[in-house]
Amino acid sequence: MCDHIHGYSQEEGRSYPIIPLCPLTLKMQKDYKELLSHCSQDELALYAGQFMSIEKSIVEQLQE
């Protein structure tokens, strides 16, 4: 379930900032810094994988 207005996603009963496809606002930057500073390495790997997947998708769309 995504709350696009506030830029948050709910997964497994836990809210976390979704990876935006636009420049980050200052509040979102602060939220990401706080989120990442409290993540386990497994969670960081998950977020990095999501980011890389989005980036790959954007590159593929631009190449078409």
Structural domain boundaries enclosing 34: 19-63
Rounded to whole angstroms, how far apart are CA atoms 25 and 12? 25
Give the model's confidence band at 51: pLDDT under 50 very low, under 70 low, under 90 confident, else very high. confident
**pTM of the entire predicted model:** 0.45
Share of the chain above pLDDT 70, in %: 62
Q: Is residue 37 part of a domain?
A: yes
Rounded to whole angstroms, how far apart are CA atoms 43 and 64? 32
Q: Is residue 59 part of a domain?
A: yes
- Residue 63 identity (one-letter amino acid): Q
pLDDT at 1: 34
Q: Is residue 27 part of a domain?
A: yes
Whether residue 29 is predicted with pLDDT greater than 70 in this model: the reply is yes
Whether residue 59 is predicted with pLDDT greater than 80 in this model: the reply is yes
Q: Is residue 14 part of a domain?
A: no
What's the average model confidence in pLDDT over 45-58? Answer: 85
What is the tally of structural domains in the chain? 1
